[in-house]
């Protein structure tokens, strides 16, 4: 088994460094592929580098979709971004480089990285359609904030230095990604065993387990820089969410949100509900907890994020919280997802909207009580 990396970029754009402009991005990618595939771990080649040149060369609709399929088949995607969205078939407003990036992000934000090479491979075009595609690509990159640091060459500004620096950057990016995968897999291996810590929590009755989980979650929330300006309510479900007795420990906490805001400090927003689930939870189960199915549900490594678009109820279900460290890991995974996906600011804006709604409910209650 090899780790498959897809490297996306324009093909014919030239690298311009000093007076040198005799190599294209195609030349660079072919060289990078050759160098990376020499890498070994325990005397075994570990990397399979996929580039457009290795599986097709034409510019047709089939080629466009072949590139997207290659993204799906890969374990990791690296985009060499020079500002160009790439070629697009007639009637398409998204270039192939943009499409590859968007497809990879949709699969997983953690499986995508961008290396900024705009200083060494500038784009020059007057074609209006191409300019529009480039702008769309730039806007999406800025929205999800997926840039690594721009390539910086130390020493002489030469083509060889550029190639070696780019290769080093890509190696570091792949290395970090593999390390992150190992960390995540270790969490699941730990949870799958019967270590002393897991056995300790397994032996607890629901009420005690509920308290342990809530204490851990409260500690994490209180020190989080991302959510210090929001009212964050910790809850726990001390078993699988399918178990009614366990689910009753949380109930429907958003039903009393209007009471939670009565004595809040100025500047606070929300509430936002964090629910740590000892076992698993499904999309259907979280929809049933809210009470109706028409809600936005996003599932990721941390668990499930739910947002009701009319009342702006927000709930984060952290699943497989079988130990103190598991709760901590899932909370950090949610924070990383919120930041890297561009959702963090939106979550805070929804919390602001939720607060306005709750204030209006309390005002209406006061009016009714005055009658």
CA 196 to CA 277: how far, in whole Å? 20
Q: Which residues contact 367 (CB under 8 A, 6 or more apart)?
A: none
Judge whether 299 and 283 are in contact, CB under 8 Å.
yes
Which of 147-161, 204-218, 320-334 comes out lowest in average pLDDT?
A: 147-161
**Span 83-88, mean pLDDT?**
90
pLDDT at residue 90, as a whole number? 82
Mean pLDDT for the chain overall? 88
Residue 189's pLDDT band, with cuts at 50, 70 and 90, is low
pLDDT at residue 347, as a whole number? 95
**Span 190-206, mean pLDDT?**
77
pLDDT at residue 187, as a whole number? 66
Judge whether 10 and 134 are in contact, CB under 8 Å.
no
The pLDDT of residue 220 is above 80: yes
The pLDDT of residue 57 is above 80: no
pLDDT at residue 266, as a whole number? 80
Residue 193's pLDDT band, with cuts at 50, 70 and 90, is low
**Span 174-197, mean pLDDT?**
76
Q: 198-202 contacts: CB < 8 A, separation 24 or more?
A: 198/322, 198/323, 201/278, 201/322, 201/323, 202/322
User: Comparing C-alpha atoms, which of 34, 36, 111, 116 is closest to residue 77?
Assistant: 111
Domain residue ranges of the chain, discontinuous segments joined by +: 3-182, 199-367
pLDDT at residue 281, as a whole number? 95
Determine how β-strand 47-50 pairs with β-strand 40-41: unpaired
Q: What is the pLDDT of residues 229-275, one digit of tens each?
A: 889 989 999 999 999 999 999 999 999 999 988 877 788 888 999 99
Q: What is the pLDDT of residues 167-176, one digit of tens each?
A: 999 999 999 9
Kindly report whether the global pTM for this prediction surpasses the value 0.75: no
User: Comparing C-alpha atoms, which of 56, 127, 53 is closest to residue 95?
Assistant: 127
pLDDT at residue 313, as a whole number? 96
Q: Please tell me the CATH code under which domain 3-182 is placed.
A: 3.40.50.10140
Written in H, E and C, the secondary structure of 64-93 is HHHHHHHHHHCCEEEEEECCCCCCCCCCCC
Q: Which residues contact 3 (CB under 8 A, 6 or more apart)?
A: 46, 47, 48, 75, 76, 174, 178
Which of 138-147, 312-321, 343-352 comes out lowest in average pLDDT?
A: 138-147
pLDDT at residue 147, as a whole number? 57
Answer positive or negative: Cα dihedral of 341, 342, 344, 349: negative
Q: What residue has token string 């740590």?
A: 276
Alpha carbon distances (Å) from 229 to 255, 264, 308, 353: 21, 11, 21, 14
The pLDDT of residue 146 is above 70: no
pLDDT at residue 155, as a whole number? 65
Residue 293's pLDDT band, with cuts at 50, 70 and 90, is confident
CA 155 to CA 148: how far, in whole Å? 21
Radius of gyration of the chain (CA): 25
Q: What residue has token string 């953690």?
A: 110
Alpha carbon distances (Å) from 230 to 5, 226, 339: 39, 9, 16
pLDDT at residue 175, as a whole number? 93
Q: What is the pLDDT of residues 325-351, one digit of tens each?
A: 889 989 988 998 888 777 898 999 999
């Amino acid at each position: 088994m090899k780790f498959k990396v897809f490297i996306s970029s324009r093909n014919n754009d030239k690298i311009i460094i000093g007076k040198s402009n005799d190599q294209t991005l195609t030349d660079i990618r072919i060289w990078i592929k050759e160098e990376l595939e020499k890498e070994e771990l325990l005397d075994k080649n570990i990397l399979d580098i996929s580039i457009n040149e290795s599986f097709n060369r034409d510019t047709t609709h089939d080629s466009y979709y072949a590139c997207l399929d290659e993204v799906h088949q890969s374990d990791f995607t690296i985009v060499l971004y020079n500002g160009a969205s790439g070629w697009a078939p007639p009637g398409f407003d998204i270039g192939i480089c943009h499409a590859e990036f968007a497809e990879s992000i949709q699969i997983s934000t953690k499986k995508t990285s961008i290396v900024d090479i705009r200083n060494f491979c500038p784009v020059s075009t007057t074609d209006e359609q191409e300019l529009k595609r480039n702008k769309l690509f730039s806007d999406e990159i800025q929205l999800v904030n997926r840039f690594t640091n721009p390539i910086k060459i130390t020493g002489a500004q030469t083509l060889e230095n550029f190639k070696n620096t780019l290769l080093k950057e890509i190696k570091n990016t792949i290395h970090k990604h593999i390390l992150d995968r190992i960390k995540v897999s270790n969490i699941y291996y730990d949870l799958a065993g019967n270590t002393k810590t897991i056995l300790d929590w397994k032996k607890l009755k629901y009420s005690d387990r509920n308290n342990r989980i809530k204490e851990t979650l409260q500690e994490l929330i209180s020190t989080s820089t991302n959510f210090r300006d929001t009212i964050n309510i910790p809850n726990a479900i001390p078993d699988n969410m399918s178990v009614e007795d366990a689910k009753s420990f949380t109930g429907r906490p958003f039903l009393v949100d209007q009471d939670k805001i009565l004595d809040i400090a100025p500047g606070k927003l929300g509430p936002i509900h964090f629910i740590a689930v000892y076992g698993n939870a499904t999309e259907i189960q979280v929809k049933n907890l809210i009470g109706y199915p028409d809600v936005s549900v996003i599932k990721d490594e941390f668990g499930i994020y739910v947002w009701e678009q009319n009342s702006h109820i927000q709930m984060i279900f952290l699943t497989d919280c079988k130990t103190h460290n598991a709760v901590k890991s899932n909370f950090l995974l949610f924070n990383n997802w919120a930041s890297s996906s561009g959702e963090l600011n939106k979550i805070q804006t929804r919390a602001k909207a939720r607060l306005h709604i709750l204030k209006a409910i309390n005002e209406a209650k006061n009016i009714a009580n005055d009658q």
